[in-house]
């Protein structure tokens, strides 16, 4: 804990670019190796949450309300993503499976590595990579359910987080950055993702912070479950 505190108190630009790139590459390899182990507890499938036979007769809007009601009393967050929007995210995730996200903290920003493992999106704090190396686990996992994508035009999402490390609003801030960088119509934003994946030595992590500040992400977040309003 003392070592984690020391690292957290360092400014985000403390490490040199080359050290930063090596850290990112090492974390990507670690997550790939751990992919076969699944999430925090066990494999998450939609039929464990919803009666799929029952919802076949429901409209997309009715399913959205069911999803909202189910998670409204739980200490997590959720989303209902339009199928076309998820198609764009998924297409880009295939060529760019990882990205760096920034979480506002009292003393500055903390970076998290986001890595797609199938339809799960894993987030791990770079602090943990620095202190634990290959033993660093995920602090947040986003689960995307595609069972209703074709028939109902929606993708359901929910999250599982390490509550000793993140609260719901902080985790939601990280999830917001999927929409900001992967679902964007602005080429310069997605270019950051492509640079991070394919030209890491050219990646400028302060550009991520600049975009978060410009878009107001991390200032006032309310997990309302509506991807369009995230």
| Domain locations along the chain | 2-229
Residue 144 is predicted with a pLDDT of 96
Q: Kindly tell me if the per-residue pLDDT of 45 is higher than 50.
A: yes
Mean pLDDT score, 31-52:
62
pTM of the predicted structure, to 2 decimals: 0.78
DSSP 41: S
Q: Where is pLDDT greater, at 44 or 40?
A: 44
Q: Where is pLDDT greater, at 90 or 39?
A: 90
Mean pLDDT score, 195-222:
85
Q: Kindly tell me if the per-residue pLDDT of 98 is higher than 60.
A: yes
What span, in angstroms and rounded, lies between the C-alpha atoms of 136 and 184? 30
Which residues sit opposite 80 in a β-bridge?
156, 226
Mean pLDDT score, 21-36:
49
What span, in angstroms and rounded, lies between the C-alpha atoms of 217 and 8? 20
> How distant, in Å, are the alpha carbons of 28, 36, 39, 146 from that of 45?
25, 15, 11, 10
- Taking the mean position of all CA atoms in its chain, how far away is CA 161? 11
pLDDT band (50, 70, 90) for residue 29:
low
């Amino acid at each position: 804990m003392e070592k984690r505190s020391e690292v957290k108190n360092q400014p985000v630009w403390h490490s040199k670019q080359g050290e930063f790139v090596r850290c990112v590459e090492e974390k990507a390899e670690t997550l790939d190796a751990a992919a076969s182990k699944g999430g925090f507890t066990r494999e998450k499938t939609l039929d464990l949450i919803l009666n799929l036979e029952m919802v076949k007769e429901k409209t997309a809007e009715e399913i959205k309300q069911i999803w909202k009601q189910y998670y409204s009393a739980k200490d997590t967050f959720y989303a209902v993503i339009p199928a076309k929007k998820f198609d764009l995210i998924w297409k880009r995730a295939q060529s760019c499976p990882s990205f760096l996200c920034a979480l506002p903290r009292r003393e500055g920003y903390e970076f998290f590595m986001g890595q797609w493992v199938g339809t799960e999106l894993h987030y791990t704090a770079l602090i943990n990579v620095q202190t634990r190396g290959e033993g660093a686990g995920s602090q947040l996992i986003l689960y995307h359910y595609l069972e209703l994508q074709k028939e109902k035009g929606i993708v359901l999402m929910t999250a599982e987080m390490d509550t000793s490390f993140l609260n719901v609003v902080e985790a939601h801030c990280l999830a917001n950055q999927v929409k900001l960088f992967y679902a964007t119509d602005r080429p310069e934003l997605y270019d950051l993702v492509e640079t991070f994946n394919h030209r890491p030595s050219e990646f400028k992590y302060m550009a991520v912070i600049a975009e978060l500040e410009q878009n107001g992400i991390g200032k006032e977040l309310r997990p309302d479950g509506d991807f369009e309003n995230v």
